[in-house]
Structure 1
């Protein structure tokens, strides 16, 4: 198996609410939009983020989704080219209705903060000055670093 990720699928409670958050709030453009079922976004050169109605998701995978208190044990990350962009993305998420924390300088040299989408999925917004962090930021952004 090749070492790559093609789709990230999030099973959401209210697809219309999630669509509004990502499209109207964050400004993302759907690649595919099937009302009541799924919304898909190009999230990278060969990566798609899918928001899938929870009931349709459960029917597809043949199992119920686990639910309970606490944070979903995963994060999605949006890396940017500067600490200033971390602040700007978190402000955009807050304006879209997200619960967003205050970004902090990390011990490993980066600067990150988190926000939660309408279903509580946590997004890390990160400036990572290391080689791996630079690898995931589009070149046009990397070239624009102060």
Structure 2
């Protein structure tokens, strides 16, 4: 499980990341990422807004995972979410200062943990290198 500061929770954060962020895709996942410093939305909570203003909070990556019904039944979707959360948690150091949305493609339902992690690594490498 990703800790609370590392989770995207609000729909506007997901929308901003998907619409304005850079994208890299593979057979099983699509990764959208945008720098937190370029995120123009306002937080509803003043306490959270104050926390966001600190330098450490701006470097803390936030990750959201989207798994649609096209992936499979509830059991398969939850399995994919668990696997992607685990893979993302171990890669938080690579995501410093980013808002990231990981979207599972339908083929993710039959993929192993190693395949999902490998595809996530390839997408993150493409995003870090500047190519799509």
Q: TM-score range by the shorter chain?
A: under 0.3
TM-score with structure 1 setting the length: 0.23
Q: Which has the higher helix share?
A: 2
Larger RCO, structures 1/2 (Cα 8 Å, 6+ apart): 2
